[in-house]
Amino acid sequence: MSLISFNESLEITIRTYLSMTYLTSAALLAKKAFAIEDGRNFKDRINTSVHEEHQAYSTAAIMMSAAAVEAFVNELFAECRDAGTKNQLNIPPAKAEVLARFWTDEPKFERKPVFEKYDRALALLNLPALDRSSEPFKAASELFELRNGLMHYKMFTHEVGKEPGEQTPDDVEQKLQAYFVDNQLTGPGNPYFPDRVLGHGAAEWSAKTAVAFLDRFCQLLGTTPPYEHLRSTFATR
């Protein structure tokens, strides 16, 4: 989403908020994965190209969801720097100046881990830190673990054909299985990651996790989310 405005000299300025685009994109991709998966299971004969399309939608939804969380906090700092008192999150002028000054004076900070950025923003605003024990944070943390597992994929050789009860799930698998159902187009004997992960369940969970985390952050800021008017586009099926 882009915002066009005029300054005092009547010059036109434009700022693009990709976090909102990523949120709507993640939901749309999850919805497309659902359309393929709905009413089908691994026993159905599904064309390879359809399998690949389904996996592409699911993978992209996970990536877009994580990207939304990363972009949002960067936009917060940049918004305070560029828009000042007119920032979309209605951060008071004095506090917006603090964020703006920090973002300008610490250029290397933008390379820091994403949750460190959120923590720093809250600290600079004298607000409570993220609650590491809360579900929005724990789910978002697992979202980034999943995103990193896909982005920095390391191939493993798996023994195919074992039933779930015969398999030994690792820590990541145990955590993710608590959040979403397996890909319905892949049999239970297939490896959990990536085969049984990349489905509508993971895509939908990722999109909802990103929104829930950002909702909580905006709640801590005491402001209405800037994407509130887009919430109807976050449907995932």
Query: What pLDDT, in 10s, does the model give residues 145-182?
Result: 999 999 998 877 766 666 656 655 567 788 899 999 99
Using pLDDT thresholds of 50, 70 and 90, give the confidence band for residue 88.
confident
Residue 124: half-sphere exposure toward Cβ, Cα within 13 Å: 21
pLDDT for residue 167: 59
**CA pair distance 20, 37, nearest whole angstrom:** 26
User: Is 26 in contact with 210 (CB distance < 8 Å)?
Assistant: yes
Domain boundaries, the chain: 19-225
Output the pTM of the full model: 0.90
Classify residue 220 as exposed, middle or buried by CB count within 10 Å of its CB (0-12, 13-18, 19+): middle
User: Is 58 in contact with 33 (CB distance < 8 Å)?
Assistant: yes
**CA pair distance 185, 177, nearest whole angstrom:** 16
